[in-house]
C-alpha cells in the first residue's frame, strides 16, 4: 500500500510540474494584447500626431524591441527602438527627424510616438509591434481634409477589410459605400 501511495505521489508531482510548465509557457508567449485607438487620429498639416498603444497586461517595455511601421506602404519602418535606444538606420527617410518616442511611458506599458510637421502623405495605416511579445495593433492617421478619401486610401482600406473576416468589416464596407455614394450623388 505504501508503494502505491509513493507512485501516486510521484505521478501527482509530475502532473503538477507539467501543469505549471504549460501555464508558464502560455503566460510568456503571445498572451499580451496591444490596444490602439479605434477612431482615426485626425490632424491638420503641420501639426503633431500622437500615436499611442497600450499593452495589456502592462509590462515595462524599456528592454523590448518596438517598431512602428506603415501597414499601407509595405510595412516600411516609421520608428524603431532596439537595445533601449531609438534606431534611425531602418527608418523611412520621410520620417527622419520627425518622430519622437516617449521613453518615460515605456515603463508603464504605453508606447507613445509623436510625428511632427505632418503632411498629407503621412495619412495612412500605422502598426505598432512588439515582436518578443507577439503583440501588435494598427491605427489610422488622417491628415488634412477629413471629408476627403483618396482613391489610394480607399483601396488600402478595402485590402485591410479583406484581411479581416467577419460581419463587422462587411458592415463597415456597406457604411462607407453608402457614404461615398451619397457624397458623389450630392456633388453631381
Listing DSSP states for 48-104 in one string gives -EEEEEEEES----TTS-EEEEETTTTTEEEEEEETTEEE-TTB-GGGTTTEEE-HH
What pLDDT was estimated at residue 158? 67
The one-digit pLDDT tens for each residue of the chain (188 residues) are 545 444 444 443 333 333 333 333 333 345 788 888 888 899 999 999 999 999 989 999 999 999 999 999 989 999 999 999 999 999 999 999 999 999 999 999 999 999 999 999 999 999 999 999 999 999 999 998 644 555 656 666 666 666 666 666 666 666 666 666 555 544 44
Question: What would the CATH number be for the domain defined by 33-145?
Answer: 2.60.40.10
For the chain, which residues make up each domain, given as ranges? 1-31, 33-145, 149-188
What pLDDT was estimated at residue 38? 81
pTM summary value: 0.63
What pLDDT was estimated at residue 16? 32
Cβ pair 110, 90 in contact under 8 A: no
Cβ pair 176, 168 in contact under 8 A: no
Amino acid at each position: 500500500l505504501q508503494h502505491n501511495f509513493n507512485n501516486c505521489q510521484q505521478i501527482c508531482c509530475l502532473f503538477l510540474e507539467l501543469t505549471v510548465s504549460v501555464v508558464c509557457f502560455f503566460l510568456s508567449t503571445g498572451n499580451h494584447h496591444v490596444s490602439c485607438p479605434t477612431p482615426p487620429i485626425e490632424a491638420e498639416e503641420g501639426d503633431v500626431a500622437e500615436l499611442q498603444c497600450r499593452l495589456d497586461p502592462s509590462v515595462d517595455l524599456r528592454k523590448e524591441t518596438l517598431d512602428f511601421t506603415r501597414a499601407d506602404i509595405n510595412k516600411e519602418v516609421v520608428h524603431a527602438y532596439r537595445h533601449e535606444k531609438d534606431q534611425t538606420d531602418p527608418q523611412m527617410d520621410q520620417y527622419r527627424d520627425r518622430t519622437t518616442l516617449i521613453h518615460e511611458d515605456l515603463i508603464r506599458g504605453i508606447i507613445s510616438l509623436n510625428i511632427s510637421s505632418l503632411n498629407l502623405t503621412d495619412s495612412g495605416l500605422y502598426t505598432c509591434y512588439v515582436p518578443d511579445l507577439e503583440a501588435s495593433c494598427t491605427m489610422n492617421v488622417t491628415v488634412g481634409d477629413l471629408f476627403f478619401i483618396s482613391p489610394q486610401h480607399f483601396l488600402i482600406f478595402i485590402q485591410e477589410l479583406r484581411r479581416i473576416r467577419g460581419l463587422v468589416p462587411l458592415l463597415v464596407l456597406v457604411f462607407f459605400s453608402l457614404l461615398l455614394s451619397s457624397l458623389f450623388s450630392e456633388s453631381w
